[in-house]
Every structure is written in C-alpha cells, then in structure tokens.
Structure 1
C-alpha cells in the first residue's frame, strides 16, 4: 500500500544533515510546540499596554469583579500575576525538555539561564528583543500556529482518504473509480507535504527553540514590568510566605514550583 506507507512516514521525526553535523527537525512535535507558542502569544497579547489598561480599569470599576472575586485590587492583581507566572513556567519547563536535541550549546543551557533570569533578571545571551522585534516574532508564531492547525486537519483528512482507498482496493471497485480516487489521495498527499514545508514540522530544533526561548524571556520580562516583580536570589524555600506581595517579590523556587 503506497498511500499507507507514505502517511506513516510522515510521523517519523526527520533528520537533516548540514555541514557534516546532524540537525534534527521538530517533526511530529511541531503540534506540541505550536501549543506552547499559542500560550506565549496569548500572554503577550494580554500584556499589551491597551489590555493592561483595560483590565486595570475593570479591577477598579467592575462591580461584578468586586462581588465575585474581591474588593481588594492588590489581591486581584496578585491572582492575575500568579496565573501568568504559572503559564510561563509551564511553557519554560516544556521547552527545557526539548533543548537536549539542540546543537547550540547556549540553547542547551536554557533551563539554567531561565533560572538566572528569574533570580537576577540577567539576560546573558541577549534573548530579550525590543518590543517591535517581539511583535514581529509574535506574528511569525501566529503564522506557524495557523499553518500547524491546518496541517493537523489535513493529515486527519488524508488518513481517512487512505483508509477508504485501502477498502476500495480490497473490494470490487470499478478500475475507473479506483484510479480517480487514487488521484484524489495523491493530491491530498501533495497538499500535506506543502503544509509540512510551511509549518514547524520541517524546522530544526535550534531554530524552533531559539524562537520560543527568546519569546519566553520577553514575556517574562513584560510580566515583571507590569506587576513590579523583583528577582530574589533563591533561599531554598519554595513557600510563598506573604501572598499579598508575592507578585512583587517572587523567589525562583516558588516560581518553578508554582
């Protein structure tokens, strides 16, 4: 079954050899990475000046928020900050699991560097770009997210078509109908192949993680600016002793175990 073997080959994580060194491509993990990028894009949009001004106004004036959550504006700000910190930490942990397949030694040390960023605000590799550059990176991630979503849908369609083709070959289908359906499957295979070329699927770990790591650093920096977080050297205590001021002074242990 040519169609069946072609589809199964899609799910193998491809490898590319450049300059004599192995450079792994993301492959099927593209869907997981696209999900992480989606979280980063959402956070960045929520932290825009317009959005921040709006939810600060809502905290101050919205009667529903005061009745359902709290009348303490600092406490509501604390809840928002904690939720964002938990999200960015989840994304950072997921990326840290992928960096082992990168070639770039700087990327391999992502987890350590991110911890230093949380502790001291240090950015040794200059991963935090200016806001305008980050906006361009966000648009790039949005394109990848969109293409990857389409790729996933079309791969599902292709799988259904190939299963139908197998059933037709095992039945007494008219040769003309079988040939016509085979052409349809081949066209869909070509479409999926083109989508793979446009998506994260064929991007290397180095390229993908570099884009994601820089975005994580930038989003965390924006969270820090919006909520006034101060980096403290980790004292080994993962507990947050003062919940009212947690978003202003957050230890790395509390952050990584949020």
Structure 2
C-alpha cells in the first residue's frame, strides 16, 4: 500500500512528444541545418571568391564587397531570427524552465551578453548533432509521405467497400482480388507509418528537440560573427562590451553603415548608365514569400526588387534565352505574350531602341561587308546573356526555395538575394533587357527575310 502511494505521488508522467507538430519542427530544423551548411569553409570561399565577383552581380548589383557581404550577413541573420522564433515558440511547451525562456536567451546572445568564443563550428560533437538533425528531418519527411499514401489508400478502400455494399453488378472475382491486395498494401503502409513515427520527430520529446536546436542556433550565430567580421567594417557599436560578439548587424542599419549602399556607381559593364528615373510601382506577387524577409523589404525604389519587378524580369530573361537558343519552339503568339509581360515604360524603351537600330540596320545592309546583321546581333545578345542569365536563374531559384520551403526535405544552402535581380540597378537591368529584346527582334527579322 505504501509502495503504491509512493508511486502515485512521485511517479513522473511520460514526457510529451511532438506528434503532429513534428512537421513544422522538421521545417525549422531543416532551415537550421541549411544555415549551418551555408557557413562551411567551402561555401564561404565560394561566396567570397566566386559569387560576389560574378559579372552579373558586380555589374548589376554592386562592385563593392562590403555591400554584398553586408547583404549576405543580414540575410543569413534574418533567416536565423525566423528559425530562432520558431524554436522559442516550441520551447514554451518544454518542461525545462530554461528552454521556456529561450526568446530572452536569444536576445541576450544578439546583445553580446553571452560569450560565443568557445562554440566551435565544425567540431566532432557539433557535426554529430547536425547529422542527427538531418536524419530526423529525413525520417519526418518520409513519415509525411507515408501518411499521405496511407490516407489515399484508405480513401480508395472506403470507395470500394461502398460499391461492394451497394451490390455493384460489376464487382466480380477480379475486383475481389484487387480489394484483398489493397488491404495488404494498407496493412503494410500502416506498419511503415508506425516505424517512421518511432524514428522521426513525431516520437521526440519537446525538451530533447528544442535543446538540440538551441545548441545549433548558438553555433550558427557564433559562426556568422566570426565569418563576416573580417570583411565588414562599420558594424554598430554601443557602450556594451562586444568583444565576444561581432556581427550585431541590424537590418535597418544596413544602408547607414555602408556608403556604397547609397552611392553605388559602377564603371564596368557593356551598357552605359542612363539617368535615373522615378520608381515603378506594381503589385508584387512575391509578398507572401518575402513577408518575413527584412532584407528583401529594404531594396530601394531604384532597384528591380524595390520596383516589384524581380520575378517578372527574371521570367522575361529566361523566355528570351529560349528565343535565342530554341527559336523553333517559340511562335508569334509567344513573342506577343512576352511583349505584354513588359511594363509600359520598358515597352517604350524597346520601341525607341528599335527605331534607332532599324535605320542602322538598313545602312548596314547597303554598305555591309557581306556579313549578315543577324550574326552581329546574335554575338551581342549572347555576350549579354552570359552574365544576365545566371542572375535571372538565381532569382527564380530564390523564389522556388522559399515558396516550396515546407515541401523541401533537403538541407542544402539556399540562394542569397545578392545573387538575384532584387538588388540590381533598375536602369542597368532594363537597359540590358532592352538590348536583348531588340537584338532578338532583329535576329528574327533577318532570319525570316533569308527564308523568303
């Protein structure tokens, strides 16, 4: 009797597990692993030696490393903030009081009140934690797929049983065998679901899961500080002791701390810079994707993204590539649709450029050296597309990675905004697009004339 009473008063109930919250948790965990992978030595070398020096990024966005690295730093910090907010929300369900208060701990971390020097990125124990997270994310993704398949099978079974109950005349021996096979498949699928629940985040406790992610949040933040501090000058300073934490870059101060952000002048590039004109305002379709991305919202009106044209211009450029390399797949209606995608301002630029080049083309034909004008236009367009196309591809890739985020099971590093058209100078980007479209128009013109 005494034993039973002791057991009643002192036995702890089993710790709560994530269960249905496993899928949102897996998304947060995948984001953290992706962030971790984006900060490896190989990825940082790629960023510093290749990405920020690529021709399209240098010409359209900036040739100032401090600007581009500030963008990279700020975007990665923004992504970490979003992940940390999700971890904090999950931490409120933990039994550990310290995990309940993770939002305050994270604020202290960013305020430089926590020593991060002892957090070693890439250590054996950290890599072990990251590997464990990857396995949990993968298993949770498989659980999701298995549960969807099971739901489809059970729905099919209900339909068949309904037909059978109605005494359907066509329900013969073959259908009976199919029903038995379906039942076997459902039984097997239920075993699969039970297995994946055991090995995935579904069966993990809140405390264990949050504790694992909190450690990686600290590691990532410390890594961002150590990686970007040597390259970025003018980080905000205050009266606090910031010796242990460098990268306290606030998004709103991104422009204030770097003169190159407001006075970006590039002397390189094949197209001369025209006078700045007023911003174009469109209802951007990407609002849902970029709602929580502060770096996205900071693009000024003089940029493609600040005018709400990033994805539209990326689509135009990629369509132009098809016209250049696969003209047989493009009909007259497709070219008209492409033209209608353009804002009115860009249409006017194309028409103006066409009128001027038309006269030059006629003079070329009269006194030319026998070389088709189409060849010259093709060379010019191909040269521009070499550096314009990668930026357009990265723009669509950035969008796809964010719009399909909850469906992603991989933890590869994501594309950065500095690689896209978002921070591209609007006039330069439009001038390049005009050159390409006018060039394609003349290529089609001369090729059509040659066939006649």
Q: Identify the structure with the greater strand proportion.
A: 1
After TM superposition, the structure 1 = structure 2 runs for residues 1-258 of structure 1, keeping only pairs within 5 Å, are: 19-59=11-51, 61-122=53-114, 128=119, 131-132=122-123, 133-172=125-164, 173=171, 176-228=177-229, 240-241=252-253, 243=255, 245=257
Q: Could you say which residue in structure 2 is the equivalent of 1:9? A: none
Deviation at 1:178, TM superposition (A): 3.2
* Matched pairs, number: 227
Structure 2 residue ranges without an equivalent (≥5)? 1-9, 165-170, 230-234, 241-249, 259-293, 296-452
- Superposed CA deviations along residues 133-173 of structure 1, whole A, max 9, x for unmatched, are 22111111111111111111111100000001111111125
Deviation of the 1:84 alpha carbon: 0.2
RMSD of Structure 2 on Structure 1 (CA): 2.8
Q: Is the 8 A contact 1:127 1:213 kept in 2?
A: no
Is the Cα contact below 8 Å between 2:70 and 2:254 reproduced in 1?
no
Unpaired stretches in structure 1, ≥5 consecutive residues: 1-17, 247-256
Q: Is the 8 A contact 1:59 1:73 kept in 2?
A: no
TM-score of the two chains, using structure 2 as the length reference: 0.46
Structure 1 SS opposite 2:150: helix
Q: Deviations over 1:211-247 (max 9, x none)?
A: 11111111011011111267855xxxx873462648x
- In 2, the alpha carbon distance for the partners of 1:179 and 1:100 equals 47
Alignment partners' CA distance in 2, 1:36 and 1:120: 24
Tell which has more relative contact order, 1 or 2 (C-alpha 8 A, sep 6+). 1
Residues 33, 133 of structure 2: 8 Å contact kept: yes
Check conservation: 2:121, 2:223, Cα contact below 8 A: no
Query: Highest Rg: 1 or 2?
Result: 2
Per the normalisation by structure 1, the TM-score is: 0.79
Distance 2:26 2:204 in 1: 12
